[in-house]
Structure 1
Amino acid sequence: MSTATAPPILDFSPFYGVDSEAKAKLVEEVRKCCHYNGFFQITGHKVPLGLQRRVMECSKRFFTLPLEEKMQIDKNINTFNRGYELLRSQMLEVGTGPELKEGLYIGEEIPEDHPYFLQKKLNSGPNQWPPTVADKEEFQKTTMEYYHAVFDLAKDVLSVVALTLGVDSSYFDPLTAGAVATMRMLHYPAQPKDEDEKLNRGIGAHTDFGCVTLLLQDEVDGLQVLDAPSGQWLDVKPTSGAYVVNLGDLFMRMANDKYKSNTHRVINKSGRERYSIPFFFSGNPDYLCECLPNCRAEGEAAKYAPITVQDMVTSAYKESYGRAEKYKKQLEQKQSALTPAVAVAAVGA
């Protein structure tokens, strides 16, 4: 991978088959991607195309609701990231504005008597479902069917990644058992062609927080991955039925930086609305993340101290959302400082 190329599209079906040579080829392709920039796309998985299309249609139905109806399930009324997120709530890249996207956070249904809820585990609680969305029972059923299908696919991806490390495919079972994952339906409004892309990113340049992300795109592009060796931003063109897969910071930490959690962003220059559904697989909140096998040379020390999934991902959330709040407060202070001067000028006139 000496030249700058967009993340390759890999046929994942050999993982489910009996052809050992094809499976070994898949494992080697994934290994190369993990070493290079941690990004690849997969087809040939077990999530049906029809289910993908149905959940994307659900997402579009939700985001067409009036703002006051979406705000009935504002995620700020709970502490576990479930519900609707307003435009410009998050800021992942320093020097940009808060991001031009709105979202709906969804996860496994965790009732209020569940140990994860009682112990305030990562993103653990009951979902907030939109009460006014059309055909709300179908909306909920389709969304959770899709969530569970991608959850299973994330475990399959980690099984292949385990094989790239020279360990058994079941190596990550303790990480995936009782795992927490968060799905986000995202909507990027259309932007004017001359909009300042530095200040109006769909999502600013960032790396993901957890172990692995699986992204479903609609037909509108905008996702870009940084090719670190060349410094180029590479477009990741939407491919029907495919998932964009990337490793997150938590996995790179466990891999002693040998496997990459790479920088990416979204800039919606299409002039159209864009929809996507990322699935962030964090892992069991209590899993202790330590240096993985075959990720350091003999005598080489681990770069990072052990840390739980809970502590690693929670701190990353606080940083990105805190950055957006700080930006908004500074903007309000600037506007407040200007207001008296404007008033005096008006009186003098």
Structure 2
Amino acid sequence: MPIPTISFAPIFGTDDASRAKVVTQIRDACLKYGFFQLVDHGVSQDLFDEVIKQSAGFFSLPEDVKEKYNKDQDKFQRGYERLRAQNFEKRTAGDLKEGYYFGADLPLDHPRVVAKKFNMGPNKYPQEVADPEKFRETIDTYYSTMLSLAKTIFQVLCETMETSNEFMSEFLDIPIAILRLLHYPPQAPDASEFERGIGQHTDFGALTILLQDEVGGLQVWDREASAWIDVTPQRGALVVNLGNLMMRWTNDRYLSNLHRVINKSGRERYSVPFFLSGNPDFLVECFPKCADETQGPKYDPVTVGRWMEGRYADTYGTSKDKAFEELSSSESKAGMAQV
């Protein structure tokens, strides 16, 4: 059974009954899949088309040009991520994708940057693309649009749990929010059975909003059927899923579900995920209504920043902190046990 497709239109309307129906649909999707496709969300198709166009333009540049913007040149987690830099399943040389990271474009003298908060700093905007100004305008517009939509979705998630959203102003105060351009080359016909565009994993943060092109390849784990199900692209739709922070926050009530990409289409695949994690100093602890009445919360409180540092160190193989490794791998191991 495919993940549900949900119209978000009633959330912007005035009909309380229609809004309540959407809240119920999203609650059910979060409980069963941790995924749903969202339509009627108010984002224009022209913006979708333009961000995919700009992404493809950058990834078509020569390798030496792309490397000028490598994210490993500094500690800001911004810029180009070379092919196979990430390795989720650790059974091949790495995941068959390349990417580019953007976030809130903060100057070097911003207090969060000076304090070396994770993922806080200036963006790198490539100058070798066909129209650098158009590229930057598109990225910045898409980033702000997704951040606004993520805030609205998060408000609805609070409604699904009958939880006050009074914490949101603190949680969303200059949040770790990552826009990532991704390019998946087609897999070779004779590729290993373990070859993946991206290996099975759960997302790091609280909420992901994904734009995918028409090529397909995204798969989500269906626990009831014990099988991978395809997330068929729908023009104009956004794929929304919960991440590990939301799983911790809800005491496993909501699912941060396994997913992967396998690109056997023979075509180039492009996608643009937006990851909302939150204020790096925000302390994530179990929502009161989600705590077990007898055993209490399953997970210790953790700040957004510490959690994200641990997850990045684990998947990029850069961790030198055993505590980070143990922290970051706990939910991943639990997720892998589902398969």
Instruction: Assess same fold via TM > 0.5.
Output: yes
Query: Superposed, which structure 2 residues align to 1:254-333 within 5 Å?
Result: 254-322=249-317
Contact 1:159 1:170 in 2 (8 A): no
2:13 matches 1:53: no
Q: Secondary structure at the match of 1:294?
A: helix
2:205 matches 1:205: no
Choose from 120, 127, 131 the match for 2:123.
127
2:208 matches 1:220: no
Contact 1:106 1:182 in 2 (8 A): yes
Aligned counterparts of 1:87 and 1:226: Cα–Cα separation in 2: 25
Aligned twin of 2:245? 250
Contact 1:90 1:323 in 2 (8 A): no
After superposition, give the CA deviation of every residue in 1:110-159 in whole Å (9 maximum; x if it has no partner). 11001111111121111111121111011001110011000111111111
Aligned twin of 1:37? 33
2:228 matches 1:233: yes
Q: Secondary structure at the match of 1:282?
A: strand
Choose from 129, 137, 141 the match for 1:145.
141
After superposition, give the CA deviation of every residue in 1:288-341 in whole Å (9 maximum; x if it has no partner). 0000132124333111111000011110000000079xxxxxxxxxxxxxxxxx
Query: Superposed, which structure 2 residues align to 1:11-22 within 5 Å?
Result: 11-22=7-18
Which residue type is aligned with residue 34 of structure 1? C
Q: Secondary structure at the match of 1:275?
A: strand
Choose from 63, 69, 80 the match for 2:65.
69
Larger radius of gyration: 1
1:171 positional shift = 4.8
1:95 positional shift = 2.7
Which residue type is aligned with residue 16 of structure 1? F
Aligned counterparts of 1:39 and 1:170: Cα–Cα separation in 2: 25
After superposition, give the CA deviation of every residue in 1:240-296 in whole Å (9 maximum; x if it has no partner). 111100000011011101111000000001010000001111101111000013212
- TM-score, length basis structure 2: 0.91
Q: Secondary structure at the match of 2:43?
A: coil
Contact 1:82 1:104 in 2 (8 A): yes
Contact 1:91 1:323 in 2 (8 A): no
| Superposition RMSD in Å | 1.5
Contact 1:75 1:82 in 2 (8 A): yes
After superposition, give the CA deviation of every residue in 1:152-176 in whole Å (9 maximum; x if it has no partner). 1111111110000112455533212
Q: Secondary structure at the match of 2:216?
A: coil
- TM-score, length basis structure 1: 0.89
Q: Secondary structure at the match of 1:73?
A: coil
Aligned counterparts of 1:196 and 1:323: Cα–Cα separation in 2: 26
The range that moved more, 150-159 or 290-299, is 290-299
The range that moved more, 232-241 or 161-170, is 161-170
User: Unaligned 5+ residue runs, structure 2?
Assistant: 320-339
Q: Secondary structure at the match of 1:140?
A: helix
Aligned counterparts of 1:300 and 1:55: Cα–Cα separation in 2: 47
The range that moved more, 172-181 or 75-84, is 172-181
User: Unaligned 5+ residue runs, structure 1?
Assistant: 325-349
Aligned counterparts of 1:184 and 1:197: Cα–Cα separation in 2: 27
Distance 1:16 1:169, change over 3 A: farther
Aligned counterparts of 1:263 and 1:235: Cα–Cα separation in 2: 12
The sequence identity of aligned pairs, in percent, is 47
Distance 1:323 1:191, change over 3 A: farther
Contact 1:160 1:169 in 2 (8 A): no
2:99 matches 1:103: yes
Choose from 163, 183, 188 the match for 2:184.
188
Contact 1:96 1:204 in 2 (8 A): no
Contact 1:211 1:281 in 2 (8 A): yes
